[in-house]
Amino acid sequence: MNKPLRRIAIFCGLLVLTLLIRDNWLQYVKADTLKTDDKNRRVTIARYSTPRGDIIVGGNPVTGSTETKRNGLNDLKYKRTYKDGPMWAPVTGYASQAFGANQLESIEDGILTGNDDRLFFRNTLDMVTGKTQQGGNVVTTLSPGAQKAAYDGLKNQGGKGAAVALDPATGKILALASYPSYDPSAFAGTSDKDAEAWKKLQKKSDASDPMLNRALRETYPPGSTFKVVTAAAALENGLYSSADSPTRSPLPWILPQSTTELKNEGNIPCKNATMRVALKVSCNTVFGKMGYDLGKDKMLAEAKKFGFDAEQFVPVRSAASNFPQDMNPPNTALSSIGQFETAATPLQMAMVASAVANDGKLMKPYMVDELQSHNLDPIEKTKPKELSRPLTPQNAQILQSMMETVVKEGTGTKAQIGGVTVGGKTGTAQHGIENSANPYAWFISYAKMPDGSSPVAVAVVVEDENANRGDISGGGLAAPIAKRVMEAVINSKK
């Protein structure tokens, strides 16, 4: 072979080798990335070529699929539908032909579309028998009654807010409500009407931000509900060992390194009050000094045991609650009563109540109980998992007795349920520059049955900008909602 031909042959060989390398790179290395790329329309077409599987609550689907009216270039055959969409949106999220998906609709998309690798055998069998590929189901832990009680309570109250209910023994999420909310069906398709509905729901069009999942993604100053964490830290670190021994709490109490007096709400008996009395009437001075005496390191360690400063995945991501790490002594005192930079999601505060109710054991919260194939064969079952031990059983029971006093004769009497022992803590959290805006109303609680079991722990937060400031309190606005949620769970067990 002469020299020019040899050069051409080598050049052609290099071209073929380059094509082979590129082809293998695309098919094997980049396959998953290209498959899930938002610009790959074939993925979207495949996703909506068959009805999606369902998200199940209490044995019944809260989602569905309907055939799209074919017009123009619309090649997406089915679109998502939702039953009681606004009530369940914080759980399901949305699946939209035009705007993608989020929350369970996104996280479990492989199961719902039938494309998950765990469905390979079932899909292969269906292909052999000539059946169309079908999506599987996502079975949730949610209680229909508890969710309705939470959502209706927030809606009837007005304003904005959220509620979360947990099963303390397992970590199952029984209710996850956020208000205001939205209907995912309104923008499930690709029409101009869907686009307009989506636009109206964005925060720049609606200041109430209805698409914000306040139960998981919003952090609020927890106010006096955080005093439960401070009490736990005092018990765990041996600062106090009894609910009924006097604390070392002078009145007035001046914040350390300052001349500022820490005020209580009204003329309440806080001087050297016992922890039980201090929690019952919500003494800022007692718990502020308690946090100062413990110091920021011990307070931070206890807060982290309850889940602060860490994101939770349920499997939807929940924002990390915050207990500040860099504080001077006066800020430590303020943080210990739920002020300064302390901030918590409603899920986080439900976890606090849940750990106390479960004798000090905090279970990992979750909302997916089981994944199923379309013929209901189980694919994966969630097993309860212990997250941490913020309290010993003995200290948890001391704290339970204190929280039960709050509901029996303190600030949380509106949460009382006949024949059931309820423990709780109210909170009215400062909001706005120099506390200029209406405060947030909080209530955390649990219910204990006559046999000693605790089927539910709840956290409720209400933010009502239109209410009279003097009428806002955790016991007045949030406790009645928590009561109805607890009653719904209790009634479902009968």
The pTM of the full predicted model, rounded to 2 decimals, is 0.89
Dist. CA 396–CA 380, nearest whole Å:
33
Query: Hey, what CATH class is 223-369+386-493 in?
Result: alpha beta
Q: Which among 175, 388, 223 is positioned nearest to 302, based on CA atoms?
A: 388
Q: Which among 265, 255, 356, 378 is positioned nearest to 302, based on CA atoms?
A: 356
Dist. CA 105–CA 316, nearest whole Å:
10
CB neighbour list of residue 245: distance below 8 Å, 6 or more residues apart: 274, 275
CB-neighbour burial class of residue 39 (10 A; exposed 0-12, middle 13-18, buried 19+): exposed
Locate the domains of the chain by residue range.
223-369+386-493
pLDDT in single tens digits along all 494 residues of the chain: 577 777 777 778 788 888 888 777 767 676 666 666 666 666 677 677 788 999 999 999 999 999 887 555 567 788 999 999 999 999 999 999 999 999 999 999 999 998 888 877 666 666 666 667 788 999 999 999 999 999 999 999 988 999 999 999 999 999 999 999 999 999 999 999 999 999 999 999 999 999 999 999 999 999 999 999 999 999 999 999 999 999 999 999 999 999 999 999 889 999 999 999 999 999 999 999 999 999 999 999 999 999 999 999 999 999 999 999 989 999 999 999 999 999 999 999 999 999 999 999 999 999 999 999 888 889 999 999 999 999 999 999 999 999 999 999 999 999 999 999 999 999 987 644 444 456 789 999 999 999 999 999 999 999 865 543 343 567 789 999 999 999 999 999 87
Provide the pLDDT for residue 133. Answer: 72
Give the chain's radius of gyration (CA, Å): 27
Provide the pLDDT for residue 431. Answer: 45
CA 54 to chain centre: 21
Provide the pLDDT for residue 73. Answer: 54
What is the maximum span of the chain, computed from C-alpha positions, in angstroms?
Answer: 107
Provide the pLDDT for residue 71. Answer: 56
* End-to-end Cα distance, the chain: 92
Provide the pLDDT for residue 121. Answer: 66
List active site positions. 224
Provide the pLDDT for residue 30. Answer: 66
200 token code pair: 């109206």
Q: Which one-letter amino acid corresponds to residue 122?
A: R
Provide the pLDDT for residue 26. Answer: 67
